[in-house]
Amino acid sequence: MTEIEAPTTVHLAVYDTLADWETGHATAWLVRAGYTVRTVGPDDRAAGETVTTLAGIRVLPDLTLADLDPADSALLILPGAEKYDEGDELAPFTAKARAFLDAGVPVAAICGATAGLAREGLLNGRRHTSAASFYLDATGYAGGKHYVEADAVTDGDLITAGPTEPVAFAREIFARLGAYEGKRDAWYRLFHDSDPAAFAELHADDDA
């Protein structure tokens, strides 16, 4: 099911309290489509120091935020994390998201990361969604009129979703990157709706 001839790098932000369930569908299936996923950690970590997810899983980042150049990336994924609601520790990641969007490179944010984008001002003029409208309103942002009640929303280079919609989040990412053309509907029906017929559709050309 390879979609591209040469792997293109997708960068996944990793930080303490990362919500484990939110990006697995996207990253696993991007790799199956021929992409490479590299993890990006905070600048303040010593070499060899891990970050710890909500599940207690330790992740050793491939590179630090300072080493991340939008020109080297197809997409930046920002998972949710409790730390987005605890202060400004993750603000450098949303600042990097601004650099990506300014460079015309897509950003996908889910759950708490959408609040980080709101504080950064990146949702003030873009259609977006999140866990709930009042969650983003609490950030004091000016983009409330652009909030959309939907599982996931794409506005140009920005993808947003709430914490209960990792499958819809992945579908929007695939669409933005052009992955699984002609098969995204089957993929979504399989993983979101548990439609058994979708499995055959998704894998119809595997032995071709």
| Residue 2 domain flag | no
| Residue 131 domain flag | yes
Q: Which residue has the tokens 């330790």?
A: 58
pLDDT of amino acid 204: 82
Residues 12 and 27: their CA atoms lie apart, in Å, by 8
| Residue 1 domain flag | no
| Residue 24 domain flag | yes
| Residue 77 domain flag | yes
Helices (H), 84-207: 91-102, 112-120, 133-137, 166-177, 184-193, 196-202
| Residue 207 domain flag | no
Give the burial string for 61-86 (b: 16+ CB within 10 Å, else e): bbeebeebebeebbbbbbbbbebbee
| Residue 34 domain flag | yes
Active site annotation includes 102:
no
| Residue 156 domain flag | yes
* Residue-number span of the structural domain to which 46 is assigned: 9-202
Tens-of-pLDDT digits for all 208 residues of the chain? Answer: 544 444 489 999 999 999 999 999 999 999 999 999 999 999 987 667 899 999 999 999 999 999 999 999 999 999 999 999 999 999 999 999 999 999 999 999 999 999 999 999 999 999 999 999 999 999 999 999 999 999 999 999 999 999 999 999 999 999 999 999 999 999 999 999 999 899 988 888 765 4
Q: Which of 18, 111, 115, 167 is catalytic?
A: 111
Count: domains in the chain: 1
pLDDT of amino acid 200: 87
| CATH number of domain containing 108 | 3.40.50.880
